[in-house]
Amino acid sequence: MRKAYLAIICLFAGLNAFAQHADVQPVPQQMSESGQRITLPGIYQFTGDTEANPYAVQQLKQLLAGKHSAKEGLRIYIGEKGDKSVRKFARQIPNRKEGYYLCINDKEIVLAGNDERGTFYALQTLSRLLKDNQLPAVEIKDYPSIRFRGVVEGFYGTPWSHAARLRQLKFYGENKMNTYIYGPKDDPYHSSPNWRLPYPEKEAKQLQELVKVAKENEVDFVWAIHPGQDIKWNQEDRDNLLAKFEKMYDLGVRSFAVFFDDISGEGTNPVKQAELLNYIDENFVKVKKDVTPLVMCPTEYNKSWSDPKGGYLTTLGDKLNPSIQIMWTGDRVISDITKDGIQWINERIKRPAYIWWNFPVSDYVRDHLLLGPVYGNDTQIADQMSGFVTNPMEHAEASKIAIYGVASYSWNPEKYDSEKTWKDAIKNIMPTSAEELEFFAAHNSDLGANGHRYRRDESVALQPVAQSFTDSYIKGGKYNESDYTALQETFGRMTESGDILLTDAENTPLVEEMKPWLAQFKLLGETGGEVLAMAKAYESGNQELFMRKYKHVKALQQQMFQIDQTYNQNPYQPGVKTATKVIKPLIDQTFAAVTERYNKKYSTLLDATTDYMPHKLISDVEQIKNLPLQLKTNRIQVSPALEVIKWQAKGFITIELDNVYPGLSIDIDFGKPEVATWGVLEVSTDGKEWKKIDYKQEKNRLTADLKKAPVKAVRFSNSQDKEQEIYLRRFIITVDK
């Protein structure tokens, strides 16, 4: 009778299987609610707190701080399936890893996990539901659709700080992510040349603390090693790798990965990779009873780079032990995960792929912030992937917007709502200035032109107005007053939101990361407002007002240029770009149009240019042809590529300048010390006739002194009959302007 009574009070007749009133992220698999609100009393009774997941119990007691445990009051049951405390609720607990049952009514609260991690997640849901000392009466049966969910810190650029990683791990626990893969490309003890060496004492202690905090938040700390660039396929390096794993095991690490991405040479051999990984699996993973299955990232980690005839992926599928997880980025390096794409890879590797999703990573567009929603991945393929981890930006706090979305998607893809989750993420990260952050994020989500051809929606709500204004004013010289007003309001909000966010003290790490972009955003808003004022002044024939506004725009452009030249001066994509997909082109085009009209009407020679790229990159190399150019005073540079470039026979790269200039130098870095005898360097004075020039090479650097000879174009060609594998670290032309 007791069991029946308990079941009755936790079930609410006539309710839908899922209701949206109680807002929970990630969205539970099953949730029903009565509409009743329960105020937490001052006293409560604990059942199970001595045997349940200690981290869940600890957080629950923190949640109930100020209230008192007694032998009466609201009863709280907490525990894992099989525990005496929750045995009577066993049938309600989903029989799935990390599943849980949560029941809240005016008699009791039940937090029952299928395992310890499930109990922890039940607590996270309870915490999310508690607002102003009140809880909704709900019954939830929940579990993740995808086994491994989380983050891979695998980007190029400045690794996260220790403090940022600690904040991240807490954030993952709160959002039911169970995986953090530590693999920063710029950690020398993770990759070449020092992967064989132990961490220095300071770094080792920090890693030890990360492992501890990860455990407290039910996150698997996966330490990854990246040995492929200089590994020797012998017993000595096998022993070196196992010795390094033992060192990490001593620091508390219980999950491991081996990365073979972005390498060339002997390290790419799939047979040797499989032999090494199986050796590790059999002599380390399976020997240690508390170590989770090994994860590997292959060299061919996306479809566009794979060579089916070479058999790399099928070799891994055939030879790798079945328990070893294989990572995959999709059809391209940067791509969304589709049903067809995941079926393609799973057939070859003979196991569900472990998805490494390259968003919001920005190491190839480091002058942008990627703050938009998570969307584009198929919501019906959860059973076809073993894991889903996001590769973030070097900006840890700013990445949380997307990480929050990935947490929701990977927990329950079928009920994932991209737009709602994005808005919820922003409220979660910066509650007091959520409106301003949402506005800023909506205009800072696209990547701009990039070599991977991956773009995201930006300024979506403004696009119809921007198009209407472009069609009417820029093309026809007239504008709709409602369009003008809407743009004026948008530019005003840009200034306002920039100021508000710059002074927000609620999340100072986030503000610090965004500060250059906030300042640039604010200036761009001011510029937009003044450009509109120029249009109005021209229309009314007020030359004095027009010139005042024109001068102010030029001053604002100069300030933006200074920010772009001063902040975020990384070696790859330096500078600070904001609102580049819709707003900035609209402002630039409007400025040019109204200035040119003024010049024509009043016979003046006002400069109508904004920042633009007058030069061209031309290439038939697939991985190069879409790379953007950078212009820094008298230097024209190809944005470096981070991955291995497969440069086909007779393939070329050309930089064509807008005019003929006295050439100073050419500086190229292909990332390899071998002399580049495979290539030919040429210059042209007209873009048609070419002259071969000599260059000198020291280690990776190829340089040529142009001695102020006239240059219109520079070309480097693969003169050989075979493909070359190189890196494109640097390709710079310096001219005398």
Which structure tokens are listed for 374? 């998570």
Instruction: Assign 43 to helix, strand or coil.
Output: strand
CA–CA gap between residue 123 and residue 261 (Å, rounded): 38
* Given 262, 363, 424, 446, the catalytic residue: 262
CB 136 within 8 A of CB 33: yes
- The secondary structure of 616-672 as a DSSP string is EEEE--TTTTTPPEEEETTEEEEPPP-S-EEE-TT-EEEEEEEEEEEEEEEEEE-S-
Residue 677: exposed, middle, or buried by beta-carbon count in 10 A (0-12, 13-18, 19+)? exposed
CB 452 within 8 A of CB 368: no
Phi, psi of 683 (to 5 degrees): -125, 160
CA–CA gap between residue 405 and residue 371 (Å, rounded): 11
**Known catalytic residue: 471?**
no
Please state whether beta strands 385-390 and 353-357 pair in parallel, antiparallel, or not at all (unpaired). parallel
CA–CA gap between residue 442 and residue 624 (Å, rounded): 29
CB 224 within 8 A of CB 262: no
CA–CA gap between residue 193 and residue 191 (Å, rounded): 6
Beta bridge partners of 652: 717
CB 385 within 8 A of CB 146: yes
Q: Which amino acid, residue 701?
A: R
Name the E strands within 143-217.
Answer: 148-153, 179-182
**Nearest residue to 219 (alpha-carbon basis) of 116, 318, 75, 307:** 116
Residue 68, Cβ neighbours under 10 Å: how many? 10
Which structure tokens are listed for 254? 């219980």
Please state whether beta strands 255-259 and 220-225 pair in parallel, antiparallel, or not at all (unpaired). parallel
CA–CA gap between residue 164 and residue 103 (Å, rounded): 34
Q: Where are the alpha helices (DSSP H) in 130-177?
A: 162-174
Cα 592 to chain centroid, rounded:
35
Instruction: Assign 112 to helix, strand or coil.
Output: strand
Which structure tokens are listed for 644? 């291995």
For 310-341, letters b (16+ CB in 10 Å) and e give eebbbbbbeebbeebbbbbbbbbbbbbbeeeb
CA–CA gap between residue 529 and residue 199 (Å, rounded): 53
Name the E strands within 14-114.
Answer: 30-39, 43-47, 68-69, 74-80, 100-104, 108-113
Residue 541: exposed, middle, or buried by beta-carbon count in 10 A (0-12, 13-18, 19+)? exposed
CA–CA gap between residue 176 and residue 24 (Å, rounded): 12
Instruction: Assign 673 to helix, strand or coil.
Output: coil
Is the Cα dihedral 247, 251, 253, 259 positive or negative? negative
Long-range contacts from 275-283, C-beta under 8 angstroms, 24+ separation:
275/233, 275/319, 276/231, 276/233, 276/238, 276/241, 277/320, 277/321, 277/324, 278/319, 278/320, 278/321, 278/324, 279/238, 280/241, 280/242, 280/245, 280/256, 281/321, 281/323, 281/324, 282/321, 283/242
Beta bridge partners of 9: none
Active-site residues, by number, are 262
